[in-house]
Amino acid sequence: LVQPQYSPMPVEQQIAILYCGTNGLLKNIPLDKVTEFEKRLLSFLELNHQADVLDILKQGTINDDVTKIIRETSEKAAQQFL
C-alpha cells in the first residue's frame, strides 16, 4: 500500500485495499495496473457502499457482509483489467 506523502489514505480505504491484497483479490491484476485498480475499487465503494462498508470499516469492524461486498466490488473493478 503506497500513499502519497502528506496525503494519507483514510483507514477504511486502507483496510479495503489491504483486504484485497491479503485475500488474493489482486492476483489477476497486472502489477502496473494495481494503482488504477485501487482507485476504481475505492470509487465504487464510495459511490455505492459508503454506509454498508466504508462507515463500518472506519469503526474498526469487519464482518462477513462487509467482506462479501468488498469481494463483489473488487470483481467489478477488476473486469476492465482481465
User: How high is the mean pLDDT of the chain?
Assistant: 93
The yes-or-no verdict on residue 76 having pLDDT over 90 is yes
- pLDDT of the residue at 25: 95
Amino acid residing at 67: T
Helix (H) or strand (E) holding 8: none
Taking residues 8-33, what's their average pLDDT?
94
The string of pLDDT tens digits covering residues 33-71 is: 999 999 999 999 999 999 999 999 999 899 999 999 999
Domain extents in the chain: 11-81
- pLDDT of the residue at 11: 93
Question: Within 10 Å of residue 29's Cβ, how many Cβ atoms?
Answer: 19
Strands (E) located in 1-82? none
- pLDDT of the residue at 5: 82
